[in-house]
Chains A and B, each alone.
Chain A
Amino acid sequence: MMRIKNSTIQMLMAGLLLLVSGNLYAAESEQVIEADIDRREIQAPKIGSQDIEGGLFFGVLSVENFGSNSVVGLRLAYHITEDFFVETTYGQSTVSDAVIRDEIGQGPFPDGSNEQLYYYNISGGVNLFPGELFLFGKWPVGSSVYMKLGVGTVHLVEDRQSFNFGFGLRLLPLDWLAVHIDMEDLIFEQDFLAGQNSLTHNFQLTTGVTFYF
């Protein structure tokens, strides 16, 4: 029979006290006399904003010890300012241990030689060289080189914490359309071969299309 822990109850009571007392103190410091000011009523026009960018990417992911395979994924970014953005991505690929299996007769993957790899991460990014490119010498296209750094989870047989670091080029042929070329290093620990954890660098080269909305 499980019992409710007294220490937990005490902790919760303390928390509740904190929650309530903070607000009581704040309430005291509020203004007593309400200023009576006639404010001009302005109806601000509704101007649509396009700070969110979402889309797809595909390319090649090279997984250390296991070779390269195609990768596809989704990308969603929010542009905080002209210079900074945050981005979340999801990608998936298939990893094969067939080469090792052929060599030593037994592979490190527990269920067959093919394993699904998927990852998701959250990154902060900075736009480095915003400007305009002239494609084929005549078509002006908005562009920017960006750098990003993030954390996430990689699933290959089991979940692993990951770090990601990358550079990319974003071309803007239209206001609402962007084409990306990205190079990223996905860093996570593996214990498949040595039997102990070792940090691996897994490079990914992708291209993608995103839409601003």
Chain B
Amino acid sequence: MSINYLKKIPMLVFGLILIGGFASGNLYADENEPDNDPTRVLVADPFMELRTGPGRGFPVFYVEERGKWVRLLKRKTSWYKVELDNGQVGWVDMDQISKTLLAVGLERTLSDSVADDFFNRKNEVGFVWGSHAGFSFIGISAARKLGDKFSLKVEYAEVAEVFSTSKLFNLNLVSHPFAEWTFSPYFELGVGKKIVTPIRSQVGQERTDTITANVGFGLRAYVTKNFVARIYYRRYAWFFDDFDTHPIDEFAFGAAFFF
């Protein structure tokens, strides 16, 4: 038995050498790789201050100068985590390395490129808070762009009334004729459902469920990065109605993110 083992030793050694060879080959390849690595960038700004964390409150512990290579690892808000060739890892503000980032197409502090990025985004998630028929409400929405000027939006909102709570579901077509403006007016048109549930003390009242139509206009303001604020007015009317109910006015302001 032991002889059999001994016979296998040269094989084992050969195998180990082979594996070692591949490993060192890979190691060698790794050292040369970074030039093809798009996350490795040349520092183009006069210097780069490395902080211990992604924020102004963290101390600077290292400064790298122009002409050195660094690797961009990840981003947190406006801070990039970078790794230097000497192994130091720290966080640097994108404002301070704008030239470096521009050279590799990552510049995001120039308003133009930020806006480009922003207007190319397709999906939007937002929330609103306002007044629906004089009662305060909160809502969430999700939208998807259809071409340059239009988007399709679904919304869900809850209204806290005195004797009831209402749920609103809407499907709206939104038009942004001046989408590229910082303050851009928009128009919307939609259909939806309003479900009114009386609160417990309202004995005898029943849940109602109506189909609604709505028309509105608003102003959207581009705040920063992928963030917009908006304010709007909207009027709801009932599609089918035997009681000639008055239309309902809604005012709200909200915020949304694009991604």
Hey, which bits of chain A sit against chain B, CB under 8 A? 2-5, 7-8, 11-12, 14-16, 18-20, 22-23, 25-26, 42-51, 78-82, 86, 88, 110, 122, 124, 127, 129-132, 140, 142, 144, 151-153, 157-161, 172, 175, 191, 212
Contact A158 B215 (CB under 8 A): no
The answer to whether A11 and B213 touch across the interface, beta carbons within 8 angstroms, is yes
Residues on the B chain within 8 Å of A7, using CB: 237, 247
A-B contact pairs, 21 of them (CB 8 A): A5-B238, A7-B247, A11-B247, A12-B189, A16-B189, A22-B177, A45-B106, A49-B74, A78-B257, A81-B77, A82-B56, A86-B127, A127-B55, A132-B53, A142-B52, A157-B200, A158-B200, A159-B158, A161-B137, A161-B138, A212-B76
**Are A82 and B55 within 8 A (Cβ)?**
yes
Q: Cβ of B73: which chain A residues have Cβ within 8 Å of it?
A: 47
Give the segment of B8-16, B19-27, B78-86 that binds chain A.
B78-86
B138, A152: Cβ atoms closer than 8 Å? yes
Q: How far is the CA of A7 from the CA of B239 in the complex (A)?
A: 9
Question: Do residues A2 and B189 form an inter-chain contact, with CB atoms below 8 A?
Answer: no
Question: Are A82 and B53 in contact, CB atoms less than 8 angstroms apart?
Answer: no
Known contacts being A47-B74, A130-B57, A130-B58, is A4 close to B215, with CB within 8 Å? no
Cα(A43)–Cα(B39), bound, Å:
11
Are A153 and B38 touching (Cβ within 8 A)?
A: no
Question: A-side binding surface: helix, strand, loop or mixed?
Answer: mixed
Question: Which 5 residue pairs are nearest across A and B when measured between Cβ atoms?
Answer: A42-B105, A130-B57, A15-B215, A161-B160, A44-B105
A27: min CB distance to chain B, Å = 8
Minimum C-beta distance from B240 to chain A (A)? 4
Chain B residues with Cβ below 8 Å from A2 are 240-242
Pick from B178, B213, B255: contact of A8, CB below 8 A.
Answer: B213
Number of B positions contacting A (CB below 8 A): 63
A29 to B165, CA, bound (A): 45
Shortest CB distance B25–A (Å):
26
Are B75 and A82 neighbours in the complex by a CB distance under 8 Å?
Answer: no
Give the contacting residue for A50; candidates B76, B105, B137, B189; CB below 8 A: B76
Which residues of B (94-132) have their CB < 8 Å from a CB of A? 104-106, 127, 129
Q: How far is the CA of A86 from the CA of B177 in the complex (A)?
A: 28
Known: A78-B257, A82-B55, A151-B138. A11 touches B237 (CB 8 A): yes
The distance from the CB of B113 to the nearest CB of chain A, in whole angstroms, is 10
